[in-house]
A and B are shown apart, each in its own frame.
Chain A
């Protein structure tokens, strides 16, 4: 047994030496703070380089986070942040003409599509949870919201408990559904859950009186009530925050290199104030200002290089 042991010690010493040498060389060759180039050990970056395409998952109707515009363009606050990641990938791989492919996703298929590598980076409105981290990796948090309820203003409903015994729509597979189900069971409210496919359908169920409320991420339904209500002011968002929902972008688990690249891009955006500018660009026109808690989150996550 002594022979292989000695052998591995030699290898280890050689490896340390090699690291020192290359480390010095790299540090000498490029300005400090720059990162390595090429895909390195990252399976995701290798995949992107091979196909010369980065695949971005987007939502179709989550205005203004991630959606298809009227002229069928993918855009939004999250898409702008992800474009920064695309730029960083282009630079890292030395491929200025890297193609971007957009794949529409929904709440039920987004995690499998990321886990099986169909999508390189998911840019939607996904809550970062520890349970989900068992299947996927997450970017830093770029938005913070919580579950609230969209109701008709005329209904006079003020709190979730007012909806006891009524019908409430939820998005199938969302964290909102899980929280409402838990509250319903804990307080025996007898709320009947109705399942909707996306934000537009959930809101339609409220507007056509098929349900009395629609529980979803507060930020998103506020935007809906402000911009899409059939009669302005007919819809209201009510209630305390039932959950804490920090949004992050998802990527395949088990690729620390790519996760670090994404983390670096977000930290840069938070530090330089660009994230705040993008927020104002998308939410300003809707009259929704930067929440102090989100501003703090930006500051805390602006890690130094």
Chain B
């Protein structure tokens, strides 16, 4: 293969700036999507364990829908289809008046997709705490809301921190799909550098290293959180 290596191109203007810009969008999309995924995911996860059948069914329907449709297709649906089926004015707002429509579409699409996964973790965590804790909470006079707030959720969320870390890492990596709806995040920018300089291997290597760096930082931070919130004597880990 004939290939002219040129690592220096990564540090030349404007390409270095493009990489920084791409990293910024990757972090923004991942962070926004993660906050949304936690909020929606915990809500749906709790809904799936409540003693009311219609609410449980609603939660199950959400999980089935968002977990079983490929993320790429979900992004296309949000980006291309949703604005066309909404009333014309709302569609126009999403397409034009909203600042950065590509960013918000990607963040919301990715967040709602990830929420289905978070919901399943939360449901599993609450069920793993066991019925006994819920009954004990009820026996000591707590309302249902209080038993979730003070007993079930604090225990369940600690339990599921390790799998949640994985989901957090997935959000960061899945954010690369945002380039398919025109958001120039890290992967998009490295392809942009490739098409301008034809130094594709260098650009993609740089993107790979940035992804690995981001995910390592998240992994270390989540480990620290796990240690910090661990209850001594409870939930011993292997």
Contact = CB atoms under 8 A, between A and B. Distances in A.
A135 interface: yes
Nearest to B201: A112
A209 B92 contact: yes
A55 interface: no
A172 B195 CA distance: 8
A116 to B, nearest CB: 5
A225 to B, nearest CB: 20
A174 B2 CA distance: 22
B96 A115 contact: no
B80 A108 contact: no
B96 A210 contact: yes
Contacts of A254: 2
B80 A172 contact: no
A195 interface: yes
A271 interface: no
A131 interface: yes
A174 B3 CA distance: 21
A195 B184 contact: yes
Nearest to A175: B195
Interface string A187-225: 000000011110000001000111000000000000000
Contact of A178 (B95, B188, B191, B196): B196
Given A135-B4, A209-B95, A196 B192 contact: no
Interface residues of B, number: 25
Interface string A243-282: 0000000001110000000000000000000000000000
Interface residues of A, number: 28
A208 B184 contact: no
B198 interface: yes
B21 interface: no
Given A195-B182, A208-B83, A209-B96, A108 B1 contact: no
Interface in B152-188: 179-180, 182-184, 188
B134 interface: no
Given A108-B194, A208-B80, A209-B96, A195 B200 contact: no
Given A108-B191, A208-B80, A253 B92 contact: no
27 contacts: A108-B194, A111-B200, A112-B194, A112-B200, A115-B2, A115-B3, A131-B198, A134-B198, A135-B2, A135-B3, A135-B4, A135-B198, A172-B188, A172-B192, A173-B195, A174-B195, A194-B182, A195-B182, A195-B184, A195-B188, A204-B80, A208-B84, A209-B95, A209-B96, A210-B83, A210-B101, A252-B2
Interface of B: 1-4, 80, 83-84, 92, 95-96, 101-102, 179-180, 182-184, 188, 191-192, 194-196, 198, 200
Interface of A: 107-108, 111-112, 115-117, 131-132, 134-135, 167, 169, 172-174, 178, 194-197, 204, 208-210, 252-254
- 8 tightest A-B contacts by CB? A173-B195, A195-B182, A135-B198, A210-B95, A254-B2, A116-B1, A253-B2, A108-B191
